[in-house]
Amino acid sequence: MIPKECVRLYRKLSFKLSLKLSCKLRHLLSAYLFPLLRSVISIPHIPHRCALCDSKSPQRICEPCQQQFLYTPQYQCSVCALPLAHSALLCGGCLQKMPAYDRVYSPYLYQAPLSHLIMRFKQQGDFFAGQALADLWCEAIKKHMTQQHIPLPDMVTAIPLHWRKQGRRGFNQSAFFANVIHKKLNIPLFTDVKRTGSAPEQKHLDRKERMKNLKHGFTVTSPLNNLHVVIIDDVMTTGATVDAMTTALKKAGAGKVSAWVLARVPK
């Protein structure tokens, strides 16, 4: 007779495993197998299924779902992109202490349903959701750069994860996005940044504690002769990580450091 607890645990584990495997299989098919087949034999374009509502769509996220992500804050901090309740050039945090980075560009606010997709990618390794977000993000960047007449930066770079965290998750989401942006927008990728020292969980720390935690967190191993470097990250909460990495990049000679963030956490 098998104890009930064991059966319950087996069911829970097999459900988690099947979920992970189906995500990975979906990614393998859409990212590698279908493009390969399409290049070898002429097969009609297979429509994607929307990563959010599962309806058939030519894009990985269908148009109606994309509409749910849109937000146009009336007022925003001109440096850290924090949405503001009233018109002001800077938010309270930037007024108190100006961040090391020059500017943040973030097309979306960290809220449902976008936050669900980000978590699916980060926590369940759902690369279909990751690719869907990357496609959307690249389009938003292209549109923004053209509308604002902003030239592309010299390089993009990812925020390295602490090796222990990367080992647990199996991949670095920031590196994944930086790689897609590098390829789609044809911007060189800078990878000579290392995470040094221990990096305890940042989630529950406030801005001051995060800054202290990250003080000597990054080392840049090659010079950046006055170049404009853009840091790529998925979510920006207090901006402490981006700030610490900017300091390391500027120390290595970067002339300008901006950040492109997929979703900005409101206060």
User: Does 114 help bind Zn ion (rule: CB under 5 A)?
Assistant: no
Cβ atoms 68, 53 nearer than 8 A = no
Q: Which one, of 213, 208, 221, lies nearest residue 251 by Cα?
A: 221
Q: How far is the CB of 2 from Zn ion (least distance, A)?
A: 41
**Taking CB under 5 A as the rule, does residue 129 contact Zn ion?**
no
For strands 83-84 and 189-190, give the pairing.
unpaired
Please tell me whether residue 77 binds Zn ion under the rule CB under 5 A: yes
Closest to Zn ion by CB, 94 vs 205, is: 94
Q: Could you tell me whether strands 218-220 and 228-236 are parallel, antiparallel, or unpaired per DSSP bridges?
A: unpaired
How far, in Å, are 14, 50, 97, 112, 144 from residue 64 at the CA level?
Answer: 34, 10, 40, 14, 21
Question: Exposure string (b/e) for 131-140, b if CB count within 10 Å is 16 or more?
Answer: bbbbbbbbeb
- Binding status of residue 158 toward Zn ion by CB under 5 A: no
Q: Is 88 in the site for Zn ion (CB under 5 A)?
A: no
Q: Which is closer to Zn ion, CB of 129 or CB of 187?
A: 129
Give the shortest CB-104-to-Zn ion separation in angstroms.
8
Q: Which one of the spans 3-11, 47-55, 112-120, 161-169 is the region binding Zn ion (CB under 5 A)?
A: 47-55
33 touches Zn ion by CB under 5 A: no
Give least dist CB 61 to Zn ion, A: 6
In this complex, which beta carbon is closest to Zn ion, that of residue 79 or of residue 232?
79
Q: Using the rule CB under 5 A, is 100 a contact of Zn ion?
A: no
State yes or no: residue 265 binds Zn ion (CB under 5 A): no
Taking CB atoms within 8 Å and a gap of at least 24, the contacts of 72-77 are 73/109
Nearest to 112 by CA among 161, 168, 69: 69
Q: Residue 250: which H helix or E strand, with range?
A: helix 240-251
Which residue among 53, 70, 89, 98 contacts Zn ion (CB under 5 A)? 53
Closest contact distance (angstroms) between CB of 18 and Zn ion is 23
- Is residue 80 a contact point for Zn ion (CB under 5 A)? yes
Residues forming contacts to Zn ion in the complex (CB under 5 A) are 50, 52-53, 62, 65, 77, 79-80, 82, 91, 94
